[in-house]
Amino acid sequence: MLAISACYRDGGPEYNAEYFKSEVVGTWKESGYVIYDGRDKNTILDYGNLVGCQTNNGYHFANDDTYNEHQYETGSDGRCSDKGEFLGTYQYDAAAKKISMTRNNGAKSELNLISVTYGEIRVRSTKNIDHNGDGVPDLYVIVYKRGI
């Protein structure tokens, strides 16, 4: 005897392709870094996974243009401390690869994106580091993973 069964589930808008307003909607956690040579912006000088306190840092971007950011830092005693949760609104410009954020207290910041995929966002850091000592600041990129 052969039995075939099928199931249709009308699960609402979350199952539709248009449910996510943009590819940045979701929860993103810091997971790694890549350092590119500042001269050619292609040669990888260093890369790795983040460990410890930094892996708690993250963003949640919602469909309604609101976001929350959670920040942690390692103190001089080596302990991870919660710097707090920051709430506000954001705008995503896919063409410019930029997320502009305004916290509820009025403070503004931006994330300049190198690349965006369903599972990963790469953000150009504002760090001014010359990793290879050639006199040219290198490109430090923070890697965020979705929903980890």
Average pLDDT along the chain: 87
Q: What percent of the chain has pLDDT over 90?
A: 73
In a domain, 16, yes or no: no
In a domain, 11, yes or no: no
147/49: higher pLDDT: 49
The pLDDT of residue 138:
96
Q: Which amino acid is at 47?
A: Y
The SS3 assignment for 15 reads helix
Residue range 87-102, pLDDT digits in tens: 999 999 999 999 999 9
Calpha distance 57→73 (Å, rounded): 9
Q: Tell me the two tokens of residue 22.
A: 């943009």
For the segment 81-89, the average pLDDT, to the nearest whole number, is 94
Spell out the residues 6+ positions from residue 105 whose beta carbon is closer than 8 angstroms to its own: none
- 15 belongs to a structural domain: no
| 14 in any annotated domain | no
Average pLDDT over residues 65-71: 95
pLDDT given for residue 16 in this prediction: 41
Confidence of residue 46 (pLDDT cuts 50, 70, 90): very high
Domain annotation covers residue 45: yes
**Could you list the residue range(s) of the whole structural domain that residue 33 is in?**
21-146
What's this model's pTM, rounded to 2 decimal places?
0.80
Whole-angstrom CA distances from 115 to 9, 98, 103, 107, 118 are: 34, 10, 24, 25, 10
Counting the structural domains of the chain, the total is 1
Q: In this structure, what CATH number is given to the domain that contains residue 109?
A: 2.40.128.280
- The gap from C-alpha 77 to its chain's centroid, in whole angstroms, comes to 27
